[in-house]
């Protein structure tokens, strides 16, 4: 098996899982975008995934993402930044990313807005929602989503896309994603165009799709086990 065969087989399995979850939820698979999270894997894998029809690539560290995006510039892919982001990396991220899934504070939104305007680009931003009882792994509390969303919507250079979340460790993802769906619905009443719900990773993509995910972020099930825990 070549790496291309491996990736093709994994991609087929993931697409089947997405289709099955959509069917069970009475949704169309066309409503769910697969974001391939390629962190720790080389640009050559991104290239192979692009060959297999994947257009949306997720990364969680600026330095790694920036290099890979430059290596793959000819492919015209959409780069999704999904990791915690320091304000001083905003300038770099705004140059290659199409979407930032992890906007979790006003200072970051402001830095991204300035950087996007400087780069002459429009950045789509999702508000990362913390579904943990104890904050700590990033994200704003559900009660604070609307005010951050308002700031993003007001900012030149940014476009409010919706919400993103990671299921808390040790909790039933169904319950967590059900809470996220409520947050997303509340956001849509204030911002009808903010329709994206980025939720679901390798182990909980079906639960996320049941509760309305429009974007699933899949790493290991597509690319294999990562060499480092991250």
List the x/- string, 153-192, binding to ligand PLP by CB under 6 A. Answer: -------------x--------------------------
Of the two residues 189 and 225, which places its CB atom closer to ligand PLP in the complex?
A: 225
State the Cα–Cα distance between residues 140 and 128, nearest whole angstrom. Answer: 6
**Near ligand PLP in 22-61, by CB under 6 A:** 37, 39, 60
Cβ(34)–Cβ(57) below 8 Å: no
Work out which of 21, 32, 65, 82 binds ligand PLP, going by CB under 6 A. Answer: 82
| Phi and psi at residue 129, to the nearest 5° | -105, 130
Residue 14 found at the interface with ligand PLP (CB under 6 A): no
| Phi and psi at residue 15, to the nearest 5° | -65, -35
Of the two residues 211 and 217, which places its CB atom closer to ligand PLP in the complex?
A: 217
Closest by alpha carbon to 27, among 219, 208, 217? 208
Helix, strand or coil for residue 131? Answer: coil
Beta strand ranges found along 104-198 (DSSP E)? 123-128, 158-164, 196-198
Work out which of 7, 45, 79, 83 binds ligand PLP, going by CB under 6 A. Answer: 83
Of the two residues 55 and 114, which places its CB atom closer to ligand PLP in the complex?
A: 55
Q: Which residues bind ligand PLP (CB under 6 A)?
A: 37, 39, 60, 82-83, 166, 201-202, 217-221
């Amino acid at each position: 098996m070549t790496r291309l065969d491996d990736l093709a087989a994994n991609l087929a399995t993931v697409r089947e899982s997405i289709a099955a979850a959509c069917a069970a939820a009475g949704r169309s698979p066309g409503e769910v975008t697969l974001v391939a999270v390629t962190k720790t894997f080389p640009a050559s894998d991104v290239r192979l995934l692009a060959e297999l029809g994947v257009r949306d690539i997720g990364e969680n560290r600026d330095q790694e993402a920036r290099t890979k995006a430059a290596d793959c510039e000819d492919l015209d892919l959409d780069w999704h930044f999904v990791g915690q982001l320091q304000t001083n990396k905003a300038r770099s991220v705004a140059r290659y990313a199409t979407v930032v899934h992890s906007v979790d504070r006003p200072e970051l939104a402001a830095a991204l807005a300035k950087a996007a305007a400087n780069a002459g680009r429009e950045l789509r931003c999702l508000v990362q929602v913390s579904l943990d009882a104890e904050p700590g792994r990033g994200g704003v509390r559900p009660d604070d989503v609307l005010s951050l969303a308002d700031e993003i919507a007001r900012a030149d250079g940014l476009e409010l896309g919706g919400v993103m979340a990671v299921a808390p460790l040790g909790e039933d993802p169904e319950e967590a994603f059900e809470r996220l769906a409520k947050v997303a619905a509340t956001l849509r009443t204030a911002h009808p165009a903010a329709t994206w719900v980025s939720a679901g990773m390798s182990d909980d993509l079906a639960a996320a799709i049941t509760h309305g995910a429009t974007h699933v972020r899949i790493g290991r099930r597509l690319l294999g086990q990562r060499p480092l825990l991250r």
